Amino acid sequence: MQYSEIMIRYGELSTKGKNRMRFINKLKKNIQDVLSIYPQVQVMADRDRAHVYLHGADYQPVAESLKQVFGIQNFSPSYRIEKSRAALIEAVSQLMPTIYQEGMTFKISSRRSDHSFELDSRELNQTLGDTVFRTLPYAKVQMKKPDLELRVEIREEAAYLSYETVKGAGGLPVGSSGKGMLMLSGGIDSPVAGYLALKRGVEIEAVHFASPPYTSPGALKKAQDLARKLTKFGGNIQFIEVPFTEIQEEIKNKTPEAYLMTLTRRFMMRITDRIREERAGLVIINGESLGQVASQTLESMQAINAVTTTPVIRPVVTMDKLEIIEIAEKIDTFELSIQPFEDCCTIFAPDRPKTNPKIKNVEQYEKRLDIEGLVERAVAGIKISEITPQVQSDEVDDLIEGLL
Ligand code: ATP
Ligand code: MG
């Protein structure tokens, strides 16, 4: 028998009273985005569960995709059965011998949303339990924690059988906590920061600063590919490319070496905040981690943060590099992150950046610059694109083979 649908149970959102439907609709949209790489798959969601109809698509890859989506507690692949007593008996007697192992206890759990069905749930349990005994005379029933729970659901359109439960990613549906701007470089830390924000339901838009011709198209593509890696947790991501060349040249020409980094970072923060405001984001998220590099001392963080009162979330701030790398490997961004492409910050990086920048000095140096004009021109020049999940390369091979 082939799985025809996957029944999804919601996670933490069950507790969120009247926002429930909004949460569910977010999750439904996210699942649709993530599964958009399987064109025939269809997603439905109601108050209690969501349903993914496979329409012939392979169960395994779809399940792998679903396992990553935040907001899902667990899910069960199910067989669609014709809605009749005879068909159910036939299906149970076919299925049970393939999944039952000697010594196991079992239980049938039926529920029906179609109350016009010929058997009620108690009668269903009874009838199908008898079927099991007829097929497997030694099988033992156990109501509490049986080894095998065969679930039967009678819905409007058909009956469904399922027995497996696969653990989901947990967390909250992406977007259910509002939107934040993720400052996404090409490094190891910011994609991990983005992932952790997604986990708690923050929808992210990726803001990436590029300084062509000092930074290459390859560096830009790397950041976009990293954003694409993040789409598997909650769907499409808006990618915002900010032209940063003019600002970096201007700072380089007019600022003492030791303060280049601080001023550069303050501009990034101002611009990200401006974009956030225009696009109704609530917070800024970045990959700052304490003490890794000179720009990430607490003094430096304070000087950079001073340009805004918007909350800045730093999910990896207290993690060790190895802890961050462990997550980067888990979410499959590590290999991409360590590819050598020049970042706009490394190109203009001074040999010895100030580890304890003084705000008074910073403000003094910034007087030499047309801050408002520079910020405005950068914001006016942003390019926005929507990043969508991508079919894995081996799936592409299959697709091409299928077309030939
Ligand atoms: P990462 O590994 O994320 O690059 P890092 O350890 O290299 O971080 P920095 O280079 O000092 O640290 O950057 C700190 C944070 O500033 C980054 O995590 C990121 O959020 C932001 N940032 C740095 N460069 C860029 C950029 N070109 N575009 C967008 N954000 C950036
Ligand atoms: Mg970096």
User: pLDDT tens, 24-79?
Assistant: 999 999 999 999 999 999 999 988 899 999 999 999 999 999 999 999 999 999 99
Phi/psi of residue 206, each to 5°?
Answer: -90, 125
Residues sharing a CB contact under 8 Å with residue 156, sequence separation 6 or more, in sequence order: 113, 114
Point out the ligand 1 atom lying closest to the alpha carbon of residue 293.
11
Q: Per the confidence metrics, is the pTM higher than 0.75?
A: yes
- 198 annotated as ligand-binding: no
Residue identified by tokens 């924690």 is 145
Cβ-proximal residues to 50 (8 Å cutoff; 6+ apart), any chain: 7, 8, 10, 24, 27, 28, 31, 43, 44
From atom 6 of ligand 1, which residue's Cα is the shortest distance away?
A: 189
Amino acid at 311: P
8 Å CB contact between 129 and 148 = no
For residues 262 and 102, give the distance between their C-alpha atoms in angstroms, rounded to a whole number: 68
Among the atoms of ligand 1, which is closest to the Cα of residue 186? 4
Contact 108, 152 (CB under 8 A): yes
23 is in an annotated binding site: no
Q: Return the ∠ at Cα 265 (arms to 264 and 266), rounded to 5°.
A: 95
**What's the confidence (pLDDT) of residue 161?**
96
Q: Please name the residue whose Cα sits nearest to atom 21 of ligand 1.
A: 183
Residue 259 CA: distances (Å) to CA of 25, 208, 289: 47, 22, 20
Give me the pLDDT at residue 229, please.
97
Q: Is 292 in the pocket of ligand 1 (CB under 6 A)?
A: yes
Ligand 1, atom 30, residue with closest C-alpha: 183
Q: Please state the atom number of ligand 1 nearest to the C-alpha of residue 215.
A: 27
Tens digits of pLDDT across the chain (404 residues): 889 999 999 977 655 567 788 889 999 999 999 999 999 999 999 888 999 999 999 999 999 999 999 999 999 999 999 999 999 999 999 999 999 999 999 999 999 999 999 999 999 999 999 999 999 999 999 999 999 999 999 999 899 999 999 999 999 999 999 999 999 999 999 999 999 999 999 999 999 999 999 999 999 999 999 999 999 999 999 999 999 999 999 999 999 999 999 999 999 999 999 999 999 999 999 999 998 666 789 999 999 999 999 999 999 999 999 999 999 999 999 999 999 887 766 667 767 778 888 999 999 999 999 999 999 999 999 999 999 998 765 555 555 565 55
264 lines ligand 1 (CB under 6 A): no
What pLDDT does 396 receive? 55
Instruction: Consult the annotation and say whether 364 binds a ligand.
Output: no
Q: Which atom of ligand 1 is nearest to the CA of 295?
A: 11
| Residues shown for the chain | 404
Q: Is residue 175 a known part of a binding site?
A: no
The residues whose Cβ lies within 5 A of ligand 2, an ion, are 185, 187
Q: Quick one: pLDDT at residue 243? A: 98
Q: What is the pLDDT of residues 358-386, one digit of tens each?
A: 999 999 999 999 999 999 999 999 999 99
Residue 301, ligand 1, Cβ within 6 A: no
Answer yes or no: is the C-beta of 271 below 6 A from any ligand 1 atom: no
**Ligand 1 contacts CB of residue 195 (under 6 A):** no
pLDDT at position 13, please? 64
How remote is the CA of residue 199 from the centroid of ligand 1, in Å?
20
Q: Give residue 353's pLDDT.
A: 77
Q: Which ligand has an atom closest to residue 266 CA?
A: 1
State how far the Cα of 29 lies from the Cα of 298, in Å rounded to an integer.
39
> Nearest-CA neighbor of 190 among 288, 265, 275?
288
In terms of Cβ atoms closer than 10 Å to its own Cβ (0-12, 13-18, 19+), residue 25 is: middle
290 CB within 6 A, ligand 1: no
Ligand 1 atom nearest 190 alpha carbon: 3
Q: Which ligand is nearest to the CA of 208?
A: 1
- CA separation for the pair 165, 178 (Å, rounded): 30
Q: Which of 182, 189, 220 to mutate to test the pocket of ligand 1 (most atoms within 8 A of CB)?
A: 189
146 C-alpha to center of ligand 2: Å? 52
- Is residue 142 within 8 A of residue 186, CB to CB? The reply is no
